[in-house]
Amino acid sequence: MAIADTVSPAVDLAAVNGKLSHQPAEERIAWAAREFAGALVLSSSFGAQAAVMLSLVSRVAPGLPVIFIDTGYLFPETYRFADELTARLKLNLKVYRPAISPAWLEARHGRLWEQGLDGLEAYNRIVKTEPMHRALHELGARAWLAGLRRSQTSSRELLEIVGRQDGRIKIHPIVDWTDRDVHTYLTKHNLPYHPLWDQGYVSIGDVHTSRPLTADLTPEQTRFFGLKRECGLHDPDPSPTS
């Protein structure tokens, strides 16, 4: 079963979303920091526009744990981007990795990402959701912040500012931001996009399941060969495979 070891507190989601809907992202983060003091984390993939949420949180709630899942298959540029932003924003970075190494994973299961949708889902459970659940548990998280936005994909169009996932409260402070909002913030604060952004990558994950955007692809098709969009971190997940 999915790991939901920390029962979320009683939060009136309708009331909170109504209250925060007219507030800026900074106030949404400040609300979460007050409400879940000592038990709040931020997750980041250090993806294309990750600097926005990392900057916002570093300004509003400095020192907040930042969970970064290192699958072992990330782009070299992603690792360097993580180093750059960690140093610049003084992030409290918490790196979590799968319980099995990439070499052992492939020896045991082969290249799961080449085995269709079932293989992709098994791969994501092993290298992403299991370490994420472990991180949330070990850090005592009752709530977590994520930089998802409604305009990114069809699977995120109905996201609320505050919701629940696997027994925890999930807060999306920039859920209603547009690409223009993101660009404006990055420009104002002199922050970079991921280095691969200029090479056409609009969604950046593992090297073998991320492709640059071309004329024959939609943004959603640049991940996981178009078979799926979400990696499993941001929705309830079945029990991890090992």
Is residue 233 part of the annotated active site? The answer reads no
Which residue is associated with the tokens 């250090």? Answer: 46
**How far apart (Å, rounded) are the C-alpha atoms in residues 18 and 162?**
10
Q: Which of 91, 175, 231, 233 is catalytic?
A: 231
Single-letter residue type at 59: R
**How far apart (Å, rounded) are the C-alpha atoms in residues 185 and 222?**
25
**How far apart (Å, rounded) are the C-alpha atoms in residues 51 and 194?**
8
Task: Give Cβ neighbours of residue 146 (< 8 Å, ≥ 6 apart).
Answer: 42, 43, 53, 170, 171, 172, 234
Indicate the pairing of strand 92-96 with strand 143-145: unpaired
Residues marked as catalytic: 231
